[in-house]
Amino acid sequence: MGFESVMIRLELTNGKASFGDVAQAVGGCGGDIVATDVIRSGASSSVRDIAVQLGRDGYEEMVETLRALEGVEVVNVSDRTFLAHLGGKISIQPTMQIRNRDDLSRVYTPGVARVCAAIANDPKKAYNLTLKRNTVAVITDGTAVLGLGDIGPAAAAPVMEGKAMLFKQLADVDAFPICLDTKDTEEIIRTIKAISPIFGGINLEDISSPRCFEIERRLQEELSIPVFHDDQHGTAVVVVAGLLNALKVTGKRMEDIRVVVNGIGAAGVSICRMLLAAGVGRLTPVDRDGAIVRGGAYDYPMWQWLAEQPQVGNRAGALSEVIEGADVSIGVSRAGVLSPEDVRRMAADPIVFAMANPEPEIAPEAAIPLVRVFATGRSDYPNQINNVLVFPGIFRGALDCRAGEINETMKLAAAEAIANVVTAPELNEQYIIPSIFNEQVVTRVREAVVRAAIATGVAKRIPPDFREPAGEKGGVLHAAGLA
């Protein structure tokens, strides 16, 4: 069930209600008062804040019970989640203090004019003389937020702030949330291009399909900084990382398996592309209308692209039909679409990644007894497929080498790096994906991404820790022909 701490402000009318009445009511609902503060004590009434710990399921009942008490007014209720968001979750801090006129003249006028002129003469100096070198824009239009859908840009802001926090804490990347009040594809592209000069990278977030494909493609073509739609590619990278380790557990090989991907939206398309890049032998993409088949004709350009791939099968049908004999089922669709009977008809030692949120395609309790490896997008079950494992390290690496893009080779390198964090002695059915708090993840992903960027020629800078000592041969620079 889990527990939540709630802060409640109450006004008690003297002579009609006492703190004992409140404590009894809270205890009767299964709550425990862990702290109390008197905010105001007057002749007619007093105001108190009480911190209550209770099961999440009893939250509403307890508040209603308190409201029903004679002489008690519930002034305000704030749980810890809301309190964590109070005033926003991020802020901007200067890197130095302005203590005197000399400091002021250096960071602002007149000294700043010399720096501006230097950048005007050589725009590349913006990477050294501004925050561009370490700053990412986290951009959304609020049309596909988590499991909430189209809730608008203002309501999407807490998610973008949370993303910025993770960027900073996990990879020391300064990220800034930008919520656009438009759904027009061209306006979004124009706006992002217009604000891009100050940013070293663009992280697109929670933009609905199929517009997200066009927005990302155009920005990748028209900007010289990396553009990464995390809903697509972050999810795909972790899926491939998990699958690499799941195959080690089952003893199967990528080129021999058949994978069914259910839900061919933004994440599903990217998963399919990465699976093909990783060498999967047979692929069955499935959406609401059934399987996408080789040689078929489709309105969505990405579906048409899938239909042209030789690894995509020509067997039509619904999910329950094409799942038969599949080695792997990957779901990025909706709850309840995969039944236990479907899983029983898969190949031996089936691998199921059910990642619909908040409820997966099949209940874990129903699936786990039937599969060899099971993963979800949830934190309360083993093997969480969480793109927090990807975006901090992939941007850390891209920024450090000033990559002009994040290409498929870099994404695949990130997937392999994540998989390799889980070593042979600890790898098992319940542990194919490392924790997001494993400090090795960002370091390994960053290193793999830099090496891949150098090898594919998109790196514009070689980080100091990748530079070989004078006279030394071999290594990543020589392998990429850059030494």
Active site residues: 108, 163
**Cα atoms found within 13 Å of the Cα of residue 433, Cβ hemisphere only:** 30
Residue 384 vs residues 200, 247, 263, 413, 436: alpha-carbon distances, Å: 29, 17, 18, 20, 9
> What are the DSSP calls for 416-472, one per residue?
HHHHHHS-TTT-BTTBSS--TT-THHHHHHHHHHHHHHHHTT--SS--GGGPPPTT-
- Separation between Cα atoms, residue 359 and residue 377, nearest integer Å: 9
Q: Read off the amino acid at residue 335.
A: A
Taken in order 220, 222, 223, 229, the sign of the CA dihedral is negative
Residue 3 exposure: Cα atoms within 13 Å on the Cβ side: 9
Cα 124 to chain centroid distance, Å, stands at: 30
Q: Which residues pair with 185 in a beta bridge?
A: none
Q: For 197, which DSSP code?
A: G
The two counts, helices (H) then strands (E), for the chain are: 19, 14
Q: Give the three-class secondary structure for 75.
A: strand
Distance CA 301, CA 303 (A): 5
> Sheet of 3-13: strands edge to edge?
32-41, 45-55, 3-13, 72-79
Rounded-to-10 torsion of CA 161, 163, 166, 172: -90
Return all residues near 465 (Cβ < 8 A) that are at least 6 apart: none
